[in-house]
């Protein structure tokens, strides 16, 4: 049956226009009765492709992967109540993974809300939940203010710190007519860069004897000016998790986290670019001898800890270029030899972390230079922070501070769906089954994701910590009985391969990357040595400082 022609756009049409104005052409979704009128309108939106998933968390994680790998907005749609609760882990992952995710969320009828009738998919206060998981959440309950609220969601999705935004629409509002329409999505953040702050920061960096640069995901898109600034200042560059690839790991000024820890103890001026700076400030300490400059697009982050000498509110590229223009040419002695010696000590100190080092090298050998790794919470994922050779921004996707076990499968599928670059999920056997049902989605849409499942029959990190803290006979709730992964993948119509060594992984993964469809590669492994001493580093400044062991 053909939908009757209407001259008046509805709230459903308005939300579809938010997708269009965000250049979103794919909607990861799971339909349901509260969103029927929205999906009926979507039938006529031929430029937006629905990808139906097998779970609401899968829909939201796929949107997160698509947003992270492209740096552009991506969207999902779910029903209220259990639907959005199922997707909530992905929303908090997108929040801490800095992804421009738009969630379109259904709601029970306006007259049912807050009255505890027990309507289908009722929540006592769904809006309050969404407000805790997002940068911005709007609830369109009256067509009279629908355009204003939708415009706010559109604007906040595009400007400022990249984080999720949701639009919530009750079942009895979707089909209501609206007046007016949306303005184009903003292209540039309106934050003003204060020239006097740039001058102060430039002066401090010029005068610094031991400068250090720390980068985060907010530095994506600013690699060229950051590298130029680091070379001009002869400032080492480090990162914890989400800034990998901003400065390639092979660059002579990049240092891994343990070397960054050493340099933190010595630095007189630290420039944070696109990072919250929480891990060095909270864990490594600070004192009056450390001068901190923070460049961040989020005004809330430039002085969260109350010690920033110069806050700079701007996107990383614009702010870094302003510093370069103000600093001008410098004649600095090279620190490359010193950093090379420090990196060599790091390599020697971590040589025992096998098979992690060999498997990260195998991943690098098999993945093309423009390939993307999606990190689940797993042993080899941790090792990628230390040993993987990161070549560029947006080639290492992570849930950041959320630390979301099990997200990797669906995030990798979404990332692979959104880019032509090869995508490899690095997943453990425990985390794999959280969203392994989405292999059905990968098969249905022929999405060429490559999932490398490291299988040790345990929540390996948990089990190792239990043994080290409480004794080898004190493990509990950490051993797993896995299914036959070959039969599982084959049942979904996904190609299965197995690699029993790093050398085999190079060959098998390279073949998978060349395959047009989805692949699961199982890699059986045993218990691995503990990498956490190289992450959980002690305070080296301030009253909590002690000698680094």
Phi, psi of 80 (to 5 degrees): -75, 180
Domain assignment present for residue 186? The answer is: no
Summarised one tens digit per residue, pLDDT across range 36-71 is 999 999 999 999 999 999 999 999 999 999 999 999
| 126/224 same-domain check | no
Residue 2 has pLDDT above 60, yes or no: no
Residue 542 pLDDT: 87
* Segment holding 20, helix H or strand E: helix 11-21
Residue 548 pLDDT: 41
Residue 15: closest CA among 154, 165, 121? 154
Longest CA span, the chain: 75
Query: Residues 436-441: what's their mean pLDDT?
Result: 98
Residue 513 has pLDDT above 50, yes or no: yes
Q: What is the DSSP code string of 430-496?
A: HHHTTSGGGHHHHHHTT--EEEEEEE-SB-HHHHHHHHHHH-TT---S-B-----HHHHHHHTT-EE
The mean pLDDT value of the chain amounts to 95
| 87/15 same-domain check | yes
Domain assignment present for residue 27? The answer is: yes
Summarised one tens digit per residue, pLDDT across range 258-302 is 999 999 999 999 999 999 999 899 999 999 999 999 999 999 999
Domain assignment present for residue 416? The answer is: yes
Residue 189 pLDDT: 66
Residue 137 has pLDDT above 80, yes or no: yes
Residue 112 has pLDDT above 90, yes or no: no
Summarised one tens digit per residue, pLDDT across range 183-237 is 998 876 666 789 999 999 999 999 999 999 999 999 999 999 999 999 999 999 9
Percent of the chain with pLDDT over 90: 93
**CATH code, domain carrying 369:** 3.40.50.970
Domain assignment present for residue 176? The answer is: no
Residue 191 pLDDT: 65
Residue 5 pLDDT: 52
Domain assignment present for residue 185? The answer is: no
Domain assignment present for residue 518? The answer is: yes
- Helix/strand/coil percent split, the chain, to 5: 40, 15, 40
Domain assignment present for residue 547? The answer is: no
Residue 426: closest CA among 467, 464, 455? 455
Residue 547 pLDDT class (50, 70, 90 cuts): very low
- Rounded to whole angstroms, the Cα distance separating 453 from 433 reads 10
Residue 1 has pLDDT above 60, yes or no: no
| 280/324 same-domain check | yes
| 255/342 same-domain check | yes
Structure tokens at 451: 């999932």
Residue 6 pLDDT: 56
- Are 281 and 307 in contact by the 8 Å Cβ rule? The answer is yes
- Rounded to whole angstroms, the Cα distance separating 495 from 486 reads 8
Q: What are the CA-CA distances from residue 308 to residues 95, 232, 252, 288, 314 (Å)?
A: 24, 23, 28, 11, 15
- Are 452 and 400 in contact by the 8 Å Cβ rule? The answer is no
- Which one has a higher pLDDT value, 521 or 188? 521
| 32/163 same-domain check | yes
**CATH code, domain carrying 250:** 3.40.50.1220
Q: Which of 348, 378, 400 is the last residue of a domain?
A: 348
What is this structure's pTM? 0.95
SS3 state at 286: coil
| 71/212 same-domain check | no
| 360/337 same-domain check | no
Residue 170 pLDDT: 97
Residue 114 pLDDT: 86
Task: Tell me the residue range of the domain where 166 lies.
Answer: 11-170
Residue 119 pLDDT: 85
Query: Residues 13-28: what's their mean pLDDT?
Result: 97
Query: Residues 500-509: what's their mean pLDDT?
Result: 98
Query: Residues 379-392: what's their mean pLDDT?
Result: 96
Number of domains forming the structure of the chain: 3
Query: Residues 343-372: what's their mean pLDDT?
Result: 97
- Are 378 and 396 in contact by the 8 Å Cβ rule? The answer is no
Domain assignment present for residue 179? The answer is: no
């Amino acid at each position: 049956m053909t939908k009757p022609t209407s001259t008046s756009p509805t709230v459903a049409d308005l939300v579809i226009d938010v997708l269009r104005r965000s250049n979103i052409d794919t909607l990861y979704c799971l339909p349901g009765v509260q969103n029927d009128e929205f999906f009926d309108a979507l039938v006529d939106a031929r430029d937006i492709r629905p990808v139906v998933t097998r779970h609401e968390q899968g829909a939201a994680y796929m949107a997160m992967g698509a947003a992270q790998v492209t740096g552009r907005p991506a969207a999902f749609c779910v029903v209220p109540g259990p639907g959005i609760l199922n997707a909530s882990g992905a929303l908090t992952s997108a929040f801490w993974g800095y992804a421009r995710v738009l969630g379109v969320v259904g709601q029970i009828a306006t007259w049912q809300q807050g009255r505890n009738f027990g309507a289908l998919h009722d929540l006592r206060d769904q809006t309050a939940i969404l407000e805790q998981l997002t940068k911005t959440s709007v609830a369109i309950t009256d067509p009279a203010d629908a355009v204003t609220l939708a415009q706010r969601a559109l604007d906040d999705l595009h400007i400022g710190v990249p984080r999720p935004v949701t639009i919530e629409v009750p079942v009895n509002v979707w089909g209501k007519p609206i007046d007016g329409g949306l303005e184009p999505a903003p292209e540039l953040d309106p934050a003003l860069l204060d020239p006097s702050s740039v001058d102060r920061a430039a002066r401090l960096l010029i005068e610094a004897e031991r400068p250090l640069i720390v980068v985060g995901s907010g530095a994506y898109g600013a690699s060229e000016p950051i590298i130029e600034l680091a070379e001009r200042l002869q400032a080492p560059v480090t990162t914890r998790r989400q800034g990998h690839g901003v400065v390639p790991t092979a660059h002579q000024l990049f240092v891994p986290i343990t070397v960054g820890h050493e340099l933190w103890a010595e630095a007189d001026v630290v420039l944070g670019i696109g990072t919250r700076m929480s891990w060095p400030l909270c864990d490594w300490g600070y004192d009056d001898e450390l001068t901190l400059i923070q460049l961040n697009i989020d005004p809330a982050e430039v002085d969260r800890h109350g010690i920033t000498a110069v806050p700079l509110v701007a996107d990383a590229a614009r702010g870094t270029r302003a510093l370069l223009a103000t600093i001008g040419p410098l004649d600095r002695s090279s620190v490359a030899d010193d950093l090379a010696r420090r990196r060599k000590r790091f390599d020697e100190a971590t040589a025992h972390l096998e098979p992690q080092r060999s498997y990260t090298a195998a991943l690098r050998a098999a993945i093309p230079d423009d390939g993307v790794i999606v990190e689940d919470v797993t042993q080899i994922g941790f090792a990628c922070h230390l040993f993987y050779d990161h070549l560029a921004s947006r080639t290492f996707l992570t849930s950041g501070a959320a630390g979301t076990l099990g997200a990797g499968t669906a995030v990798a599928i979404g990332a692979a769906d959104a880019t032509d670059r090869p995508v490899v999920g690095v997943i453990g056997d425990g985390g794999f089954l959280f969203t392994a049902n989405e292999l059905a989605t990968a098969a249905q849409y022929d999405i060429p994701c490559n999932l490398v499942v490291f299988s040790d029959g345990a929540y390996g990190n948990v089990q190792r910590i239990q043994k080290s803290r409480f004794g080898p006979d004190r493990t509990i709730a950490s051993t797993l009985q896995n299914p036959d992964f070959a039969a599982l993948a084959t049942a979904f119509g996904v190609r299965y391969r197995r690699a029993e060594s790093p050398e085999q992984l190079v060959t098998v993964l390279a073949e998978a990357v060349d395959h047009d469809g989805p692949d699961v590669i199982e890699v059986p492994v045993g218990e691995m040595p503990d990498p956490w001493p190289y992450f959980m580093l002690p305070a080296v400044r301030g009253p909590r400082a002690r000698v680094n062991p």
